[in-house]
Amino acid sequence: MEGGSKPSRGGVGWVRSLRWREIVRASLPRLWVLAATAAMALRLGADVLPGPVMVMFEALLIGAYWLSRLLLGNQPPMPKDWPQALRRLASMAVGRGSSDTTTTLRLLDVPMLMLLIVGASVGLFWSEERSALGVGLLEASIVLSFVVELSRAGRSAMGVLPGAAALPLSFVGLIGACTLLLKLPACTYGGISWIDAAFTATSAVCVTGLVVRDTATGFTHAGQAVILAFIQLGALGIVMFGAGLAVLFRRTLSLREHASIRQMLERGTIGDLRRFIVFVLLATLTIEAIGMGVLMPLWEAAPGATLSLGERAWLSAFHAISAFCNAGFDITGRSMVGQRNGALPYVGIIPLIIAGGIGFPVLSDLWRVLKARIARALRSRDRGLLADAVPQSAAAGEGFSLHSRLTLLATGAMLGLGFAGCLVAQSLSPSGADRSWHGELLDAAFLSVTARTAGFNAMPMDELSPASQIVTIGLMLIGGSPGSTAGGMKTTTLAVLFLAILATVRGRSETEAYARAIPEALVRKAGAIALSMLLLVFGASFVLALTDPGPAGPIVFEAVSAATTTGLSLGLTTELSDAGRVTLIVTMFLGRVGPLALMGALVFARPPARAYLYPRESVHLG
């Protein structure tokens, strides 16, 4: 008996040591990168130690992170594997990658970190100019390491939490991290209170755009960079961002992670999910880069001033990301009012807002249909040459899905109706008398686009007539489309409810569109989404009226703007008390994650199954 018990204890000890080894393997790199990030934050925010000493300390910490990653099993791909990895990445980007394309694609992981560390270390011992470049490379490596580990943390959360809970909790984590960073002295001029930091962080992560401190004059370039980074992370969501990095730079996702992401994105198969994640990341970077290039030559400097190339690049990058993410943050100090008579708001900002608000599922569908039609055109021109290169089934994918059709139709209808409503309201108002007819057309066009959760404004908000405010509130409530960076109750929700009403009036038993029947459960969900948004607006308006009594119009406008993550304001935001600002923080968070998603995550994650039905009884509706 004794002889048999010793191996058992030894086996348990071996298992425990193995478990601790796995915990150390997972935790040690994160500890190093957190220490490096904290050291960089201290150097930028407070004079704890001399600058060169802190920089060398940061280099040692990030080097320890790289060594721990390398020694504990996360080896980088060999250089000979990079061309094949790039080809597979390109094939996945255009939708030709198979579901078993799960090889290591971590081209920006350890090799890039090593390159940045070497460049930073060399730059420290050169001239002052090259030393500044080296410090910049070192900071970039720390930020990149932090983002990689943050995505891994989000991926780990997906493996433990259900998809409905991972989404709101990831936003809570992002808001907390952004708040702490904005409290650093290097991010603001004169410091910032905790309430204002939390408000700004929530507005950035929830891509709202409401501000209690002017982004242009109240935050340094470091603070603006923090806000911009969290706008990007908040628009994609840390879970989506982590899943994208996992697909691009790791081997595979677990079945539980696939199920969680598929539940959030409402995608079908695992292969479709992988392609969609890659498409979202690449489409985001591509559209924002194109937008930045379009904005570069369109900026108009103030009279007597000039804009350098670096200033144009920073302005273009910030506003391209802010516009595509429908965030509404600006670093001009006046949104687009200073560019009102130029081409920038209409040629650069409007397309970015529409592209970001139309939704990634529709963009993916448009890309699929475009590829299929180009393939058919090429095949019809030269069947002999391209018979093998173009699949014969390409033409089969030329049709739009029902979701895309409803989204495009609802988006076009809201843009047209919003333009007409804004034009009529502003042209008949006294403030519109000083504006030319083509200026009124431009104002109405920009307002009809930006009111659907973008948050930029090309005309001063005090020029909005009461009728224009009502039209704007309606557009804000509807918002953008599902799967986009925009908020609101969504265009498809409005379309489904309209079709349900139309079916009821026509006496149809099912809700129909384009020769397709919409499931009854989807109609009920659309009604629940619309009702929950109205209840959120009503609750926020009621609390704001208690904390900051005043005229009902600006209060309701502010509540709708926060709940729909729009960011337009009639000037009430900066005048709110701390209690009012906390109210808007909660409203922006609920408006971004969705009242139904939060309620489902906390209460109704697993509804109990019932084997019985209640007897039916009618009620009077009118």
pLDDT digits over 287-338, tens only? 999 999 999 988 887 777 788 888 888 999 999 999 999 988 999 888 888 8
Q: Rg (Cα) of the chain, in Å, rounded?
A: 27
CA–CA gap between residue 445 and residue 346 (Å, rounded): 8
Do 487 and 566 meet the contact criterion of CB atoms below 8 Å apart? yes
Q: What is the mean pLDDT of residues 223-234?
A: 89
Q: Say which residues have a Cβ less than 8 Å from residue 254's Cβ, sequence separation at least 6.
A: 159
Name the pLDDT band for 557 (thresholds 50, 70, 90). Answer: very high
- Tokens read off for 428: 């008949």
Do 460 and 210 meet the contact criterion of CB atoms below 8 Å apart? no
Name the pLDDT band for 607 (thresholds 50, 70, 90). Answer: low
Do 339 and 299 meet the contact criterion of CB atoms below 8 Å apart? yes
Reported as a single tens digit per residue, the pLDDT across 27-40 is 777 788 888 877 77
Q: Which residue would you say has higher pLDDT here, 528 or 107?
A: 528
Q: Which residue would you say has higher pLDDT here, 376 or 151?
A: 376
Residue with tokens 């007539």: 465
- Tokens read off for 260: 């969680």
- Tokens read off for 224: 């603006």
CA–CA gap between residue 530 and residue 535 (Å, rounded): 9
- Return mean pLDDT, the chain: 76
**Pick from 340-349, 510-519, 538-547, 605-614: least confident:** 605-614
Question: What percent of the chain is predicted at pLDDT more than 90?
Answer: 22
Q: Which residue would you say has higher pLDDT here, 108 or 377?
A: 377
CA–CA gap between residue 229 and residue 412 (Å, rounded): 31
Crossing angle for the helix pair 402-427 and 466-478, to the nearest 10 degrees? 170
Reported as a single tens digit per residue, the pLDDT across 434-483 is 677 888 888 899 999 999 888 898 888 888 888 999 999 999 999 888 87
In this structure, the chain runs to a length of 622
**Pick from 34-38, 527-531, 604-608: least confident:** 604-608
Q: Which residue would you say has higher pLDDT here, 525 or 545?
A: 545
Q: Say which residues have a Cβ less than 8 Å from residue 385's Cβ, sequence separation at least 6.
A: none
What pLDDT does 598 receive?
56
Do 46 and 185 meet the contact criterion of CB atoms below 8 Å apart? yes
Q: Say which residues have a Cβ less than 8 Å from residue 501's Cβ, sequence separation at least 6.
A: none
Q: Enter the DSSP assignment of 187.
A: G
Q: What is the mean pLDDT of residues 16-21?
A: 53
Burial (CB count within 10 angstroms: exposed 0-12, middle 13-18, buried 19+), residue 246? buried
CA–CA gap between residue 336 and residue 219 (Å, rounded): 19
The highest-confidence range among 17-31, 77-91, 213-227, 604-618, by mean pLDDT, is: 213-227
Q: What is the mean pLDDT of residues 109-132?
A: 55
Q: What is the mean pLDDT of residues 529-538?
A: 91
Residue 19 reports pLDDT greater than 60? no
Q: Say which residues have a Cβ less than 8 Å from residue 427's Cβ, sequence separation at least 6.
A: 440
